[in-house]
Amino acid sequence: MSKKPIEIYFPIQDVNKIAEKEAIAKRHYRPIYTMHKWWARRLGCVFRTIILYTLIDNNTKIYNKLNRKWMNIEKIPTPNRIWKKYYLSDIDFDGKVILDPFFGGGTTIVEALRMGCNVIGKELNPVAWFITKKEVEPISLKKLDEAFNNLKNDL
């Protein structure tokens, strides 16, 4: 059985560049995560990269900027072209399942859902469970607008 791209290479330097920007402006890059303070909130870009490099197959072609050629990912992986090609508009991991047995603040759950995965999450902490549940459950924009208007009128 061939190795997955994440077993061959993880683009830590490139992810660090993205993480630096994401960490500075959390409310812009990760607005759903600012809904509730969570003391160990992880950066979404790290989880997106882990999911991406775990679920793409070895036949994925990427652009190697060093020698300017398209190559198989198992030869020289670099995330630049993968991000442009797959994140998030063209990616479809429908049918893939991500399990997070201790999801905490829910970063793995949210990012996997954004990438089209099915998710299974377990958490012992009822506060963490409730926060993540509220982050991912569908809402009615009409009901949300009504609630905001009611709050505004009460003030």
Q: What is the pLDDT of residues 58-113, one digit of tens each?
A: 766 554 555 555 555 555 445 555 555 545 555 668 789 999 999 998 999 999 99
**What is the average pLDDT score of the chain?**
79
Which residue in this structure is represented by tokens 């990760």? 30
Q: Helix count (H) and strand count (E) of the chain? A: 8, 4
CA–CA gap between residue 111 and residue 51 (Å, rounded): 8
Query: What is the value of pTM for the model shown?
Result: 0.72
Q: What angle do CA 49, 119, 55 make, to 5 degrees?
A: 35
Chain length of the chain: 155
- How confident is the model over 131-148, as pLDDT tens digits? 999 989 998 999 999 999
DSSP string, 104-136: TT-HHHHHHHHTT-EEEE--S-HHHHHHHHHHH
CA separation, residue 68 to residues 6, 63, 124 (Å): 22, 7, 48
Q: Which residues contact 136 (CB under 8 A, 6 or more apart)?
A: 106, 109, 110, 113
Could you give the percent of the chain with pLDDT greater than 70?
73
Average pLDDT over residues 117-143: 93
State the pLDDT at residue 60.
65
